[in-house]
Amino acid sequence: MTSSDLTRLSAEQIHEVLIRKEASAEEICREHLKRIQQQDPEVRAYLTVSAERALEQAKKVDLRIAEGGRLPDLAGVPVAVKDVILTRGVRTTCGSKMLEDYVPPYSATAVDRLEAEGAVILGKVNCDEFAMGSSTENSAYFPTHNPIDLTRVPGGSSGGSAAAVAAHLATAALGSDTGGSIRQPAAFCGVMGMMGTYGRVSRYGLVAFASSLDHIGPFGRTVRDVALLLKAIAGRDPADSTSADVPVPDYAATLEDGVQGFTVGVPKEYFEGLNPEIGDNIQKGIDRLEALGCKVTSVRLPHTEYAVACYYIICTAEASSNLARYDGVRYGFRSADFKGLREMYRKTRDAGFGAEVKRRIMLGTYVLSSGYYEAYYHKAQQVRTLIARDFIEAFDEVDAIVTPTAPHPAFGLGERIDDPLQMYLGDIYTVTASLAGIPGISVPCGRTRSAPHLPVGMQIFAKHFDEARLLQVARAFEKSGGLENGSDQ
């Protein structure tokens, strides 16, 4: 096996290669580190590469193989971790100057669980500051480039995770999704990205943005890899009271069961104002699911058009409260120039936060402030009930819902950064599931017809805790060749 092949393997293939002793975990790790050194100056996915720690973990895996012990599914699999997820001893910046030198004293439960399964954490990947954004341009350090077209954004906020997986700078990755931050960059970069049910994965050690919406979830190049990562990180965690006490099924075991007899719902609300080339691909994706044995029917999600407004009130309100902790006292940046405590807070926060974070803190503070709370925050919480109810009613009739992930393909770097409202409106198809708390995945669904032929993502929703069925639909689509082998490509 040539060394460049090692970065093209899926987690499943790495497992086989290790068992057959065709390569060691250390070799696989070194090949990824080498590729990061060669390719990442162009892509700029990584903020911090933790080479030593990665090699140490890889050697442990090799030792385990030498001892003949059982090899966990993720042993030796190189993983990139979004920089809003804590890694003990490895700098975690949240893409913010506020936490430029922050070295966490503990790891997120999701990271601990991956490492316990033998996964090799290669480093920390770029994101919009505190996960606020849809392009990774709000990173305080540098923007990440889309590996498919380096002049374009990778999406966001988990743009570094998506780009790293797409560019083979990691086999898989962890991201976080609050309103689409895993699914949208997965669509933009042509990889798989999944958000489980709210509560499916512990958020202990995920730096909080909007707590009623935040999720940790996996990226991969195959559905099976996503299923393996989700299985590893899911399940009740006493350290997170919002993690659900619901059994975690073996997602990989039912992956190949097919979709014969499944009913798939298509909501017309998700096809309005859509880039027509994306619409074409999604329609072909739906046709494919039908050919695979799904019954396709239309469903109504009538409150969809209110979702962006509802989401941006709730997430900014929660952000303004969560980010109050950055005051220059316990961790992070402190302004050098101040008179008295209050001025220290204010100057620290003004200098430590970037424009989008300040904008959201301001919005959130406004909608929670006396005289506005009822009209904005309370109202948005009521509308959230209506959006969640739409889904519950739809899932009475269907097993899964299929939509586009984003209304447009990856846009150019710098193209939208000066118009925050325009940026927010691009989240229309992803914020709905976040508000309802249902799981969603974005799977590659061909490329746009016209040059530069950008990746299109098809989104699949399932009802609460029905990730197994969602992954089955995704796998059936992938196995059929997606649209890559379709007649139009």
User: DSSP code of 376?
Assistant: I
In the list 100, 327, 453, 480, the residue contacting other proteins (rule: CB under 8 A) is 327
CA dihedral 147, 150, 155, 158 (to 10 degrees): 50
Residue 68 or 340 with smaller CB distance to other proteins: 340
What phi and psi, each to the nearest 5 degrees, are found at residue 327?
-130, 10
Residue numbers 158-197 binding other proteins by CB under 8 A: 197
Least CB distance to other proteins at residue 486 (A): 36
CA dihedral 101, 106, 233, 99 (to 10 degrees): -20
User: Kind of pairing, strands 295-299 and 172-177?
Assistant: unpaired
Q: Does 312 bind other proteins (CB under 8 A)?
A: yes
Residue 179 or 437 with smaller CB distance to other proteins: 437
21 tagged catalytic? no
Q: Read off the amino acid at residue 153.
A: V
CA dihedral 480, 455, 252, 254 (to 10 degrees): -40
Cα–Cα distance, 54 to 57 (Å, whole number): 5
Residue 254 or 365 with smaller CB distance to other proteins: 365
Helix (H) or strand (E) holding 401: strand 400-404
In the list 358, 415, 480, 486, the residue contacting other proteins (rule: CB under 8 A) is 358
Q: Does 317 bind other proteins (CB under 8 A)?
A: no
Cα–Cα distance, 422 to 419 (Å, whole number): 5
Q: Does 329 bind other proteins (CB under 8 A)?
A: yes
Question: Catalytic: which of 24, 135, 158, 181?
Answer: 181
Least CB distance to other proteins at residue 347 (A): 5
CA dihedral 46, 47, 52, 54 (to 10 degrees): -50
Question: Catalytic: which of 82, 124, 231, 284?
Answer: 82
Of 56-64, 157-165, 240-248, 253-261, which part binds other proteins (CB under 8 A)? 240-248
Q: Does 199 bind other proteins (CB under 8 A)?
A: yes
Please provide the DSSP assignment of 122-175 as one string.
Answer: EEEE--SGGG--SSSTT-SS-PPPBTTBTTB---SSSHHHHHHHHTTS-SEEEE
Binding mask 74-103 for other proteins (x = CB under 8 A): ---------------------------xxx
Residue 161 or 202 with smaller CB distance to other proteins: 202
In the list 330, 450, 451, 485, the residue contacting other proteins (rule: CB under 8 A) is 330
Question: Catalytic: which of 50, 96, 157, 161?
Answer: 157
Q: Does 361 bind other proteins (CB under 8 A)?
A: yes
Asked whether the CA dihedral 125, 126, 128, 133 is positive or negative, the reply is negative
Q: How far is CA 462 from the centre of its chain?
A: 17
What phi and psi, each to the nearest 5 degrees, are found at residue 47?
-95, -35
157 tagged catalytic? yes
Q: Residue 227, Cβ neighbours under 10 Å: how many?
A: 31
298 tagged catalytic? no
Residue numbers 53-72 binding other proteins by CB under 8 A: none
Residue 325 or 449 with smaller CB distance to other proteins: 325
Residue numbers 220-239 binding other proteins by CB under 8 A: 236, 238
Least CB distance to other proteins at residue 300 (A): 16
Q: From start to end of 83-154, where are the E strands?
A: 120-125
Query: Which positions are catalytic?
Result: 82, 157, 181
